[in-house]
Amino acid sequence: MINLMPDDAKKELRAARINVLLLRYMFIIVLATAFLGLILFGATFLLDRTRISSQQLIDANDTKAEVYSATKAQVDTLSASLSEAKGILDQEVVYSNVLMNIAQQMPAGTIIDEITLGSASFGAAPLTVKVYAKSTNDIVALQDSFKSSPLFSSVSFQTVSDTAGGIDGYPASATITLTLNKVATQ
């Protein structure tokens, strides 16, 4: 087959085919751009709806929180008061426990005549105790018991008497100087 068309006509046909092809590509690009724009609009719409919904939830929770703000303030005040009370109770000394601990360290046949306990009696100031016993051996046993106990430190006898100053049934007496440790309060 012989092509008898002039060269200008051939060029025009080639240009027409290329123009049709370019128009198809442009149409596809316009459709793709419109599709991407639609997706972008949809995503923006969904994000805006989510933002509005979240803001409404935040506002509702803030309203609920305002209802409980007075209660929270009361709880905070009570908590602070309880912290102060705990500090005070931690410093409390139960003197009956101290007396029971001292009594457990005393051997049979010994009694305490007088003991004065106060807040300054623990750890720093020495305490003087008058004790009576049935014999001097009981006083020695009392001294050994007090010296070996973790409740006391610096245990020493000031005076020991076998007859003078005793009471009925407990003729031996002694004056002991000792320091009570904080362990005695437990």
CA distance 185 to 96: 9
CA distance 128 to 115: 8
pLDDT in tens, 115-170: 777 766 666 777 888 888 888 888 888 888 888 888 777 777 877 777 666 677 78
Residue 133's DSSP bridge partners are 110, 172
Res 33: pLDDT: 98
Res 29: pLDDT: 98
Coil, strand or helix at 165: coil
pLDDT in tens, 43-79: 999 999 999 999 999 999 888 888 788 888 888 888 8
Amino acid at 159: T
CA distance 185 to 51: 63
More confident residue, 7 or 29: 29
